Amino acid sequence: MGGQDGYKDEKPAAAVQEGHEAFSLAQQNSYLQKNMAKVLSCEAAAASELPAAAVGETLERLRALEKRWKISLSETCFYPIGGGQPSDCGWLGNVSCIFAEECGGKIVHWCSEALDVGAEVEVKLDWDRRWYHMQCHTGQHVLSAVAFDLWNAPTNSWDLAADMCHVDLGMAQPPKAEALSELEARINDCLRESRHVRTLAVKGDNADGELSRLAAHPQARGSAPAIGAFPIVRFVEIDGLDFNPCGGTHVRSSAELQTLKVLAVSKDRGNVRLSFLCGSKLFSRMTEMLSVEASLVKQLSCRPNEMPGLVEKRLKVEGQGQAEEKPGV
Ligand SMILES: [Zn+2]
C-alpha cells in the first residue's frame, strides 16, 4: 500500500510554502502543540459581542467572561472553527483562549484577558481536546468512505460535538444490525491496516492542472471546489480509501484511531445519523460505561445481560404500585 503515483507527500505544496496566510500552522502540522509568537493586535470586544460561530459549552464559557479580548498573532498553532471541526482552545502565555475563528484571512483568538501588542508569548493548545478532534475527524473520513462503498450512502453533513461525533448519511432507512456490524468490521480492518493519511495542497486556479487532476482521483466521492473558488485547495488522502478536499486536522495513520464504534443510530431530518467515537475518547467512554455497569450489577445482583429484563420488571411493579396508590388518576 504505497502512496498514489505522483502525489506529493507530507510537506506542504509549493503554494503553501510561499506563505499563504489561509494555511495555519495547524494545517501544516497537526501535531504541533505550541509555538512562540508576537502579539499583533489586541482589541476589547463590545459588551454584547460574541463570535457568531461559537455554540454550546464554548459559548457559555465566553458569556461567563466579564470582558472578552480579540487577539491576533504573528503565528499560531490554533485551528480556527471550520469545515465541521470545532475551534481549538488553550493559552496565549498565561491568558486563556476559549475560541479561535478566521476573519479576513487572519486568525482571531477570543481570550479572557488582554495582552500587550508586540509581546512575545507561548501559544499552547489544549492538546486533549485537539487530539480528540484529530482522531474523530479522521474517523469521520473512514466511516464516510466505508458507508459510501458498502451502502452507496453519501455523507450529507457531520458534526463533532464535545462528547460524540455524528455523521448524517443520505439513506432512507437505518441499517439493520448485520449491516452495521459489517460496516464496523470493515472500518476497523482499515484502522488495523495502518493506512497512511496525508495532505496535499494545490493552486485553486488550476494554473498547473493539478486541481482538475486530483478532482478525478479514484477515491474522490464528492465534488472538488470549483476552479477559482479558493486561492489554494487542500486535499486529504487516506491510502486506498478516501480522497477529499478538507481543511481540518487529522492523524498520520489510521492505526492512531485504535478502534471505532458506532454508539447510536437515529433518523435525523431525512438522513440516518450514525453517532460514533474512536481512539482515546472511546476508551474513556468505555471506562465510564463499565463503571456504571459494575455499579448496577452490584445493586441489582444480576449479570449485565439480565439487567434490562430485571429493570423492566421492577418498573412495571413500581408502576402498578403507584396506580394503586392513586385510584382514579
Ligand atoms: Zn478532514
- What's the pLDDT band for 3 if we cut at 50, 70, 90? very low
Tell me, in angstroms, the distance from the centre of ligand 1 to residue 109's CA.
22
User: SS3 of 70, please?
Assistant: strand
pLDDT at 299 over 70: yes
Tell me, in angstroms, the distance from the centre of ligand 1 to residue 249's CA.
6
Nearest to 244 by CA among 84, 86, 106: 84
pLDDT computed for residue 6 by the predictor: 30
Tell me, in angstroms, the distance from the centre of ligand 1 to residue 246's CA.
5
Which tens digits make up the pLDDT trace of 140-156? 999 999 999 999 999 99
Chain centroid to CA 103: how far? 21
Tell me, in angstroms, the distance from the centre of ligand 1 to residue 84's CA.
9
Tell me, in angstroms, the distance from the centre of ligand 1 to residue 170's CA.
19
Same fold, 33-125 and 130-284: no
User: SS3 of 40, please?
Assistant: strand
pLDDT computed for residue 186 by the predictor: 98
Tell me, in angstroms, the distance from the centre of ligand 1 to residue 240's CA.
16
β pairing state of 232-238 and 120-125: unpaired
CA dist 307 and 317 (Å) reads: 15
Tell me, in angstroms, the distance from the centre of ligand 1 to residue 177's CA.
28
* Cα radius of gyration rounded to whole Å, the chain: 23
Tell me, in angstroms, the distance from the centre of ligand 1 to residue 317's CA.
50
Tell me, in angstroms, the distance from the centre of ligand 1 to residue 67's CA.
34
Q: Are 32 and 25 in contact (CB under 8 A)?
A: yes
Tell me, in angstroms, the distance from the centre of ligand 1 to residue 222's CA.
13
Partners of residue 90 on adjacent β-strands: 97, 125
User: SS3 of 83, please?
Assistant: coil
Tell me, in angstroms, the distance from the centre of ligand 1 to residue 175's CA.
24
- What's the pLDDT band for 323 if we cut at 50, 70, 90? confident
Chain centroid to CA 326: how far? 50
CA dihedral sign of residues 7, 12, 18, 21: positive
Domain 33-125 has CATH 3.40.50.2300: no
- Contact residues for 263 (Cβ-Cβ < 8 A; gap 6+): 164, 275, 276, 277, 285
CATH superfamily of 130-284: Threonyl-trna Synthetase; Chain A, domain 2 (3.30.980.10)
Tell me, in angstroms, the distance from the centre of ligand 1 to residue 137's CA.
6
Tell me, in angstroms, the distance from the centre of ligand 1 to residue 287's CA.
27
Which tens digits make up the pLDDT trace of 200-241? 989 999 999 999 999 889 888 877 889 999 888 999 999 999
pLDDT at 126 over 50: yes
Q: Which residue has the higher pLDDT, 161 or 40?
A: 40
Tell me, in angstroms, the distance from the centre of ligand 1 to residue 247's CA.
6
Phi and psi at residue 282, in whole multiples of 5°?
A: -65, -40
Helix, strand, coil fractions of the chain, as percent rounded to 5: 35, 25, 40
pLDDT computed for residue 231 by the predictor: 87
Give the H or E element holding residue 131. Answer: helix 127-151
**Using CB atoms within 10 A of its CB, is residue 96 exposed (0-12), middle (13-18) or buried (19+)?**
middle
- Name the residue ranges covered by the structural domains of the chain: 33-125, 130-284, 290-322
CA dist 324 and 176 (Å) reads: 41
β pairing state of 69-73 and 165-169: unpaired
* Region at 251 (left for phi over 0; alpha for psi -120 to 50; beta for the rest): beta
Percent of the chain with pLDDT over 90: 77
pTM of the model: 0.87
Nearest to 241 by CA among 211, 213, 226, 220: 220
Tally the residues of the chain. Answer: 329
Going by the DSSP 8-state scheme, the letter that residue 93 receives in this structure is T
Kindly state the average pLDDT of the residues 89-94.
97
Tell me, in angstroms, the distance from the centre of ligand 1 to residue 200's CA.
12
Letter for the amino acid at 253? Answer: S
Q: Are 169 and 155 in contact (CB under 8 A)?
A: yes
Tell me, in angstroms, the distance from the centre of ligand 1 to residue 326's CA.
57
